A = this chain, B = another copy of it.
């Protein structure tokens, strides 16, 4: 009877702030262009998805005796068996932790994204400030904006490493402006980062802790380890904040995901929180969001982790992603992008190449360069989206996760073709 109306709705402050993600604009620009090759989205490789593993797991679950509790509601915090397995896995990387204690303080979420959202919801009011790595995860940055929270970059040097002296200066300035009382958390993606593919050295993490401690700012830290398992050859040696004594006094939330490394369609992340009160608050709010992540998906992961299927899948995809990285990296080199003054490091894990264009070249969303790339049939994420503040416009994130090797070669060629035109 009714058609869909135009709106007369009065929105909350949060509702008024909610804006379409900038990436959505990029995607809709892209949709108008057929045959476009996307190096933009951080999807994973369809060809290595664990089709047989998931099928076999569901068959095992269905064949178990007893009641099929895996199809029933689970608990708000997540399956105890899955939490225990995740805790044991975390303790392998951080041997100072105790698995049983970790399992108790771990929550299962709808991807690690929900854990990030819950953390910021319970910590920050509009107007508050969060320190972020530089560059940082752009979906997190947009989420902060949605919650009315400001991002402030942790300064880095020319090599992209955390600059303790500049951080101290920045915090002193914030003290002068009366802003430190609004500084509520610090966030970084520390392993094969999205977007930079860098890992933070222990010394860099320690520097952040030391400078914060020196300024009397014992604030919650969120370490996003979403890509920690996605190394190519060997794990990143740096311990997380959970194992570093410089961070001992800080409330810590360590986040990661099972799905980026297994099957993104299952959407299971988790957070381990060192602070019981903080964990409880997040769980109470999760009770309001959804009172528990899909128990079926958790049961699948519990089985896959217990039976070794998770490690087997990782062993399968690591060389596949390394080959894809090398493929894109090589074509950019071979086509002459470095000679045009572009710089990037060859990553040792993750899903991204992070390119720095010559300083004068604008690669942001509305730039001539970006439009030319789309016309040429290649899509990327403009790097300026990935900065919490003072965003340079000459960075580009390329994802090698999705495309086949032949498409990566073609996409790389198209990209360099445009770069030459602007070079």
Contact = CB atoms under 8 A, between A and B. Distances in A.
A1 interface: yes
Contact of A9 (B44, B220, B249, B295): B220
A245 interface: yes
Contacts of A336: none
Contacts of A242: 1-2
Question: How often does this chain occur in the complex, in copies?
Answer: 2
A72 interface: yes
Nearest to A73: B264
Contact of A62 (B21, B54, B97): B54
Contact of A10 (B10, B67, B184, B299): B184
Contact of A113 (B59, B278, B291, B297): B291
A74 interface: yes
A14 B146 contact: no
Interface string A31-54: 000000000010110110111101
Nearest to A149: B12
Given A71-B266, A72-B44, A9 B146 contact: no
A176 interface: no
Given A73-B43, A294-B297, A248 B1 contact: yes
Interface of A: 1-15, 18-21, 24, 41, 43-44, 46-47, 49-52, 54-55, 58-59, 61-62, 67-74, 96-97, 101, 105, 110-111, 113-114, 117, 121-125, 128, 139, 142-143, 146-147, 184, 218, 220, 242-243, 245, 247-249, 251-252, 263-268, 274-278, 280-281, 284-285, 287-297, 299
Given A7-B275, A55-B58, 18 more contacts: A4-B274, A5-B276, A7-B276, A7-B278, A9-B220, A11-B123, A12-B122, A12-B124, A18-B280, A46-B72, A49-B68, A71-B264, A73-B264, A110-B289, A113-B291, A139-B288, A142-B287, A146-B285
